Amino acid sequence: MISTAIRVARVGSAAELAAAALMMLGFPCLMLAALLPSVAAFAAAAAVTYLADHYLHRRGSYLINRLSKVRAGLSIRFLIRQLLLVLLLARLELSDSLVFYAAIACFLAFYGFQAPHGALITLIRLRRKMPVATRNVDLASRIRIPDAPPRRLLSRSAEKMLHLDLAAVVGVLVTAATDNNVYGFVGIGLTVALGFGYVAALVPYVRGRKIPPNAEKVLAAVDDWLSEYRPETVLYFSGSKDSAYQVNMWLETMEQLDTRPLIILRERAILDRMAPTTVPVVCVPGGVHLMNMDLSTVRVALYAANVGKNIHMLRVPTMKHVFIGHGDSDKLASVNPFSKAYDEVWTAGRAGRDRYAIADVGVRDDDIVEVGRPQLAPIQSWQGVPEGRIPTVLYAPTWEGWDGNPGNTSIVLAGENIVNKLVKADPPVRVLYKPHPFTGTVSAEAGAAHRRITALVEKAGAERAADSRFTADAAGQTQAKAELARIEARLAELSGAAADKGDEAEATRDGVADVERHEEVARLRGAWNEAYWRSFGSFEHRVITGAEPRLYDCFNVSDAMVSDISSVVSDFIASGKPYAVTDSAELGVEEFKRQNTAVRAAVILSNSAAELGDLLIAVADSDADAQAADRRELKQYLLGPDEPASIDQFNAAVRDLARKAETRNLGQEGGAPVGADLSSDSELVADGGLANVLPGQRVTGDTDGAAITG
Annotate 154-213 with DSSP letters as a single string. Answer: HTTHHHHHHGGGHHHHHHHHHHHHH--HHHHHHHHHHHHHHHHHHHHHHGGGGSGGGSPP
Distant-in-sequence contacts of 400-405, Cβ < 8 A, 24+ apart? 400/438, 400/439, 400/440, 400/442, 400/443, 400/446, 401/442, 402/442, 404/443, 405/585
Q: Determine the pLDDT at residue 407.
A: 84
* pLDDT given for residue 12 in this prediction: 56
Residue 707: the pLDDT is: 39
Q: Is the pTM here over 0.85, yes or no?
A: no
CATH superfamily of 392-472+536-639: Glycogen Phosphorylase B; (3.40.50.2000)
User: Would you list the DSSP string of 262-327?
Assistant: EEEES-HHHHHTPPP-SS-EEE---HHHHHTS--TT--EEEESS--GGGHHHHT-TTSEEEE--S-
Whether 294 contacts 696, CB under 8 Å: yes
The alpha carbon of 555 is separated from its chain's Cα centroid by a whole number of angstroms, namely 22
Q: Are strands 133-135 and 281-283 parallel, antiparallel or unpaired?
A: antiparallel
pLDDT attached to residue 688? 46
pLDDT along the chain (710 residues), means of 10: 47 76 91 95 95 85 76 87 95 93 95 94 92 93 90 90 95 94 96 96 90 92 95 96 90 96 96 92 94 94 94 94 83 78 93 88 92 92 86 95 84 96 94 93 92 96 89 90 93 68 83 87 93 93 91 95 91 94 94 90 95 94 89 93 92 96 88 49 45 44 38
Please answer whether residues 542 and 601 qualify as being in contact, where contact means their C-beta atoms are separated by less than 8 angstroms.
Answer: no
Q: 52 near 22, Cβ under 8 Å?
A: yes
For residue 479, list its beta bridge partners.
none
CA distances from 55 to 18, 50, 161, 351, 527 (A): 11, 9, 16, 54, 37
The DSSP H or E segment spanning 613 is helix 612-620
Structural element, H or E, at residue 482 = helix 474-499
The three-point CA angle 602-603-607 to 5° equals 125
| DSSP code at position 341 | G
Q: Where in the chain is the domain with CATH 3.40.50.2000?
A: 392-472+536-639
Residues 6 or more apart whose CB falls under 8 angstroms from that of 462 comprise none
Contact 130, 212 (CB under 8 A): yes
Measured distance CA(605)–CA(610) in Å, rounded: 7
- CB neighbours of 452 closer than 8 A, spacing ≥ 6? 416
- Name the class of domain 230-377+645-710: alpha beta
Q: Are 195 and 130 in contact (CB under 8 A)?
A: no
pLDDT of residue 331: 64
